[in-house]
Structure 1
Amino acid sequence: MNRARTLAPGLTLALLIAAAATPAGKALPMVGAPVLALGAGAAAGMVLRRSPSTVFEPGLDVARQRLLGLAIVLLGLGLPLGSVVAVGRETAVVLIGTLVVGGVAAFFVGRMLAVDKESATLIAVGTTICGASAIAAATAVLRPDKQRVAYALGTIFIFNVTAVLVYPPLGRALGLSQEAFGLWAGTAINDTSSVLAAGVIFGAGAAHFAVIVKMVRSLAIIPLCIGLHAGRRHLAERADTPTASLRQAVPLFVILFLAASLIASLNILPTWLTESLTTTSSWLIATVLAAIGTSLTLARLRTAGPRPLILGGTLGLILGLTSLALMSLTGWL
């Protein structure tokens, strides 16, 4: 009971911020609930830092660390493997190609810019896979500094908004069909909300196809988490430090995420339930970001400098051009 009372103020604050950010994100899809929650959390943090009381911190800390895994597992229920396999086959070259090129570019550009490994990894997975959701998954595995998480999310947000404004007129100038634009948006724009916003601006057919492509792309969260864990284990072995056991090599939430995706593909759950659980997942991610936002300060962001921002912009440009090139080679243009 005492534990619950200790956690209640911080958890309640984060949940309330997320509850406000979720409908606001639907009204402003080019911004999205995750970024609104992060910004509102930062504003709340400014107020909290003026008070000597630390009553909110225990609950906020739990929100930052414990809710990510649950949110990611619930996200799997909105990604049925069976329903997206056809689109996956049709777009496999573009999807896989952009992921590979994005990952390689992130490694080399990040080293050229001397961006720290945590920030480079978070920005890379957010750009190449699915924005805030991928950053949340990577955060659950790597447990990076929360300031770097906030900076990565801010970077992704800036280029998401830019993409929503720039991609539709560029798509029309290039003469893209509805499906071709949907494939371009689904493989080159980060967050689902921004993919949907760009698609809606271009046309209903583009929006529908873009969301399906984006769902397929989001499944890369599974190998992402496995790869990050394997990388951590390799570094631990080189440093001659204790390593995780085989059971611990893959976090439980990754296994449950895969199981949730398989359940979704069986169509055994009613639509209203899967939609509710997917909405809950988005709300929990917004809750986590609200909690992260409370620790965000301008002074700490300044210490990161402009290099992570340059990395995000460079990766976004490379991803967009790579997607168009691969679409041209595979007959989509």
Structure 2
Amino acid sequence: MSEAALPSRPASSLATPLLILGAVLALAPFTSAAVALLGGAAIALVFGNPFQGQTRTWTHRLLPLAVVGLGAGMDLRTVARAGLHGIGITAMSLAVVILLGLWLARVLKVDRDAGLLIAVGTAICGGSAIAAVAPVMRARAHQVSVALATVFLLNAVALILFPPIGHYFHLGQSPFGLWAALAIHDTSSVVGAGLAYGKQALEVATTVKLARALWIVPVTMGIGMIHARNNKEVAADAPPVKKPWFIAGFLAMAALVTWVPALHGAGHLVALAANRALVLTLFLIGAGLSREAIRTVGIRPFLQGLILWLIVASLGLTLVKTGILTVG
């Protein structure tokens, strides 16, 4: 059964004013990314969200715009180094994570397509990868919902836990940014964790994550070719193809600020506005959570996602802490 078909709980009369207040506070400079995410989730789970459709729409619109705006605060030379550094290791790590995820799905008897979506989301960039891969493998709405809900819940946990874990292990700004980019699923939560840790951590986390997100294209093409051989019919509720255009926008914005010195001042202001837009996006992501979505996940897909994520996060932390993996 698809998420849309699940019965929804009527929202409280307090939901609307609380959501409006929360959105306004998310734009305030004193509101952190973690507080915004938790606040949105708390309102949605306790009082309900009468604007689930609009919340989802604005989340999808704001996140790419915020990422593009963050490019105005980046040096394109740093982005290029992050993308070219360790390209072979990146390709190998993606393959290992996807294969391990598929093995876990088989052991835990998770639906094949849902298991593949969770594995791809963990390997590359969470919801963006799932949204790109789902149409080419003709995934149905309930399979996409399960994968997205699993990734969303783990993203929420990571956004809250990663900064204190980084401080506990005395990770520097660059090592933390690298670890966050490798071990947190969605770009939004990677950027949110980097934002909470520090300016340099934010820069490293964003550039490494976006460089990793470029692998959406070849992975999607490969999965599409494999599934085309099965001659599966297109499901009526299969989602439309979504292109990660924000990556090109981020690179274009970074290029302008890097090579046109006169734009440095304006770029700084754009990046500040993008930071607040990102925090607002995280509030909306939290507000999009529902009890029905949590029930949709079920224990087996969630266990697959949790175990896979713990392996990736633990191994990534070890490699970063020991200096085996560094930012080029």
TM-score by length of 2: 0.64
| 1:74 to 1:161, Cα distance in 2 relative to 1, 3 A | closer
For residue 136 of structure 1, report the CA deviation from its aligned partner.
5.2
Whether 1:36 and 2:39 are equivalent positions in the alignment is yes
- Residue 26 of structure 2 corresponds to 22
Q: Match for 1:324: what amino acid?
A: T
User: CA 1:114–1:67 in 2, change beyond 3 Å: closer, same or farther?
Assistant: same
1:221 corresponding residue in structure 2: 213
Q: Secondary structure at the match of 2:291?
A: coil
Corresponding residue of 1:187:
182
Q: Tell me how far apart the structure 2 counterparts of residues 91 and 238 of structure 1 sit (CA, whole Å).
A: 34
Q: Judge conservation of contact 1:77–1:274 (CA < 8 Å) in 2.
A: yes
Residues of 2 paired with 1:115 and 1:38: CA distance? 27
Alignment of 1:153-172 (within 5 A): 153-169=152-168, 171-172=169-170
Q: Residue 238 of structure 1: SS of its match in structure 2?
A: coil
For 1:24 and 1:313, the matched residues in 2 are separated by 36
Tell me the residue number matched to 2:53: 61
Question: What amino acid is the match of 2:39?
Answer: L
Distance of 1:256 and 1:189 partners within structure 2: 18
Identity of aligned residues (%): 19
Q: Given the two structures, how large is their TM-score scaled by the length of structure 1?
A: 0.64
Hey, which of these two has a bigger chunk of helix by percent?
1
Please say if residues 106 and 124 of structure 1, whose CA atoms lie closer than 8 Å, have aligned partners that are also in contact. yes
Whole-angstrom CA distance in 2 between matches of 1:299 and 1:215: 28
Which ranges of structure 1 fall in alignment gaps of 5 or more residues?
A: 1-8, 49-55, 201-206
Give the letter aligned to residue 33 of structure 1: A
Could you tell me whether the CA contact under 8 Å between 2:37 and 2:156 is conserved in 1?
A: no
- How far residue 26 of structure 1 moved from its aligned partner, in angstroms, is 6.1
Q: Name the Cα RMSD after superposition.
A: 4.5
Aligned pairs for 1:1-333 within 5 A: 16=20, 19=23, 22=26, 27=31, 29=33, 31-45=34-48, 56=50, 60-65=52-57, 67-69=59-61, 71-79=63-71, 81-89=76-84, 98-117=93-112, 119-120=114-115, 123-124=118-119, 127-129=122-124, 134-135=126-127, 138-139=130-131, 142=134, 144-145=141-142, 146=145, 149-169=148-168, 171-172=169-170, 179-189=174-184, 191-192=189-190, 193-197=192-196, 200=197, 207-219=198-210, 220-224=212-216, 227-228=219-220, 231=223, 235=227, 238-241=230-233, 251=242, 253-255=243-245, 257-267=247-257, 270-271=266-267, 272-284=269-281, 286-290=283-287, 292-293=288-289, 295-297=290-292, 300-301=295-296, 304-305=298-299, 307-309=301-303, 311-322=305-316, 324-325=318-319, 330=324
Q: CA shift at 1:63, angstroms?
A: 3.7
* Aligned residues of 2:101 and 2:304 also touching (Cα < 8 A): no
Shift of 1:212: 2.6
